[in-house]
Amino acid sequence: MRIARRRGFILYIVITVLLGLAILAFALNTFKTGAVTQLSRTVDQNRLALMAQSANAEVIAMIKSQVNLNPSSQTFTKFRSVFPAPGSPAPTLPITVELISNFEPQKTIQLAKVGYNLKVRSSAVLTVFRRSSYSSMSAYNGYIDVISKAWREGVGEVTMEAHERRDIRMIDLRHTLDRYALFVKNYCNDYNNTSRRLVVDGVRGGG
């Protein structure tokens, strides 16, 4: 009778230990799976944040290039619209101008397609809030807000957004006589050197 009781007690202990080990193994497996999932999500978030920041840099470079070097671009036209036409009153501040909306930065998208199907969209808004105190020319102070969103296609719950603000000063350097005369400044020591001359040819039919 005692031997049977001992065997039953030992069997109970063995079953209890095995059950505890099974619970521990299940908990460790669940923890490991959760840790791997969390690590994968963190890597995705870092990758998306990098793509969003890259998109912001690309958009800012594009706006700077179009405003200063491409008078035929829409961005240049939108910046120019802030300055009043000759004889018109100064605009009421603040002014908000949408520069781009739902824009796809191509350079960043090319980087995002290397191994991962990521989506990137950007937008930029110009805000002019103050007129500068220059009596001889029109000048304004403002800032540009650039916002880029990056997400992985098919996994919409993981989305990263990067917001960047750049302060700017806008100055209209156009002069009334620009279409009739060419202003030249020479700060060289050999200003009176006759072998170095500047020849200006007029453009016919320019009005």
Residue 147: per-residue pLDDT: 95
Would you say residue 1 lies in a domain? Answer: no
Residue 117 CB neighbour total at 10 angstroms: 10
Residue 68: per-residue pLDDT: 85
Residue 81: per-residue pLDDT: 87
Domain range for 66: 32-171
Would you say residue 97 lies in a domain? Answer: yes
Residue 112: per-residue pLDDT: 73
Residue 134: per-residue pLDDT: 66
Positions in the chain short of pLDDT 70: 1-12, 14, 17, 21, 24-41, 114-115, 133-136, 155-157, 174-207
Q: How many domains does the chain have?
A: 1
Would you say residue 41 lies in a domain? Answer: yes
- Angstrom distance (rounded) from CA 121 to CA 133: 37
CB 136 within 8 A of CB 176: no
Residue 56 burial class via C-beta count within 10 angstroms: exposed 0-12, middle 13-18, buried 19 and up? buried
φ, ψ (nearest 5 deg) of residue 116: -140, 140
Of 124, 155, 3, 138, residue with least CA distance to 60: 124
Would you say residue 43 lies in a domain? Answer: yes
User: Which strands sit side by side in the sheet containing 95-103, from one edge to the other?
Assistant: 95-103, 118-131, 139-152, 155-171
Would you say residue 188 lies in a domain? Answer: no
Would you say residue 95 lies in a domain? Answer: yes
Would you say residue 44 lies in a domain? Answer: yes
Indicate the pTM of the whole model: 0.64
Residue 183: per-residue pLDDT: 59
Residue 74: per-residue pLDDT: 92
- Angstrom distance (rounded) from CA 139 to CA 68: 15
